[in-house]
A and B are shown apart, each in its own frame.
Chain A
Amino acid sequence: GAVVSQHPSWVICKSGTSVKIECRSLDFQATTMFWYRQFPKQSLMLMATSNEGSKATYEQGVEKDKFLINHASLTLSTLTVTSAHPEDSSFYICSARDQGLGTEAFFGQGTRLTVV
């Protein structure tokens, strides 16, 4: 099946700094990518939908100025957590859909962010 690569798989940063997470579709083109956040022992919550070449659509309650999403190409979307705080520590997962394969979405391996 198609592969989505997420990088880094884990990162530790200091409060107040920014962290960028990359999501790449390796062998297909993804017009749309999705960013999720997962708190410990909880389900995935959609943060935003990233469309190539246009602004991301954020879910209610997600601060767009804090979680910057860029989808510059059909194979790459980035999530930047700006001015990170300890409460931003979480597991972030991206997914991408390949139109040619129907409704199936492929998930990255996730990024564990710890803000100290």
Chain B
Amino acid sequence: GDSVTQMEGPVTLSEEAFLTINCTYTATGYPSLFWYVQYPGEGLQLLLKATKADDKGSNKGFEATYRKETTSFHLEKGSVQVSDSAVYFCALSDRGYGQNFVFGPGTRLSVLP
């Protein structure tokens, strides 16, 4: 079945450092790819998404490019802030309506001032 693999955390960075969180997937079809963020004690919020190969999703300084050839969707940010401390989930979803999401294990990011 479909699956998502993320780099193991936790990741600890200093403010203004460069962030990369690796994500690779396995899917039988052509899924849409997502990054969700979960702040402490809260639910999931969509950070960015890409629906087809070579699409780049971006939001709040975060970017990720849908790479079909490497089945990857790595999350990057050029300069992290303390407020970016959260858990980040990579996820995929089949395009058909009603299909659920498959989530990666999540990567906890801590940004120190």
Kindly count the residue-residue contacts between A and B in the assembled complex, taking CB atoms under 8 Å apart. 56
Binds A, one of B12-20, B60-68, B78-86, B93-101: B93-101
Q: Which of A44, A49, A95, A104 contacts B49 (CB 8 A)?
A: A104
| Residue B32 lies at the interface, judged by CB distance under 8 Å to chain A | yes
| Residue A61 lies at the interface, judged by CB distance under 8 Å to chain B | no
* Cβ-defined contact, B93 with A103, below 8 A: yes
Chain A, residue nearest B106 (CB)? A43
Q: Which of B45, B98, B104 contacts A107 (CB 8 A)?
A: B45
Residues of B within 8 A of A (CB): 32, 36, 41-46, 49, 51, 89, 93-95, 97-98, 100-101, 103-106, 108
* Cβ-defined contact, B89 with A43, below 8 A: yes
- The 23 listed contacts between A and B (C-beta, < 8 Å) are A6-B43, A31-B98, A34-B100, A43-B89, A43-B105, A43-B106, A46-B100, A49-B98, A49-B100, A93-B43, A93-B44, A95-B101, A102-B51, A103-B32, A103-B51, A103-B95, A105-B93, A105-B101, A107-B36, A109-B42, A110-B42, A110-B44, A112-B41
Residues of A within 8 A of B (CB): 1, 6, 31-32, 34, 41-44, 46, 49, 51, 93, 95, 97, 99, 102-110, 112
Instruction: Report B-chain residues with C-beta under 8 Å of the C-beta of A49.
Output: 98, 100
Instruction: Report A-chain residues with C-beta under 8 Å of the C-beta of B46.
Output: 1, 104, 106
* Cβ-defined contact, B108 with A41, below 8 A: yes
Instruction: Report B-chain residues with C-beta under 8 Å of the C-beta of A109.
Output: 42-43
Give Cα distance in the complex from A62 to B46, angstroms. Answer: 26
Chain B, residue nearest A45 (CB)? B103
Instruction: Report A-chain residues with C-beta under 8 Å of the C-beta of B89.
Output: 43-44
Instruction: Report A-chain residues with C-beta under 8 Å of the C-beta of B106.
Output: 41-43
Instruction: Report B-chain residues with C-beta under 8 Å of the C-beta of A44.
Output: 44, 89, 101, 103
Smallest CB–CB gap between A24 and chain B, Å? 13
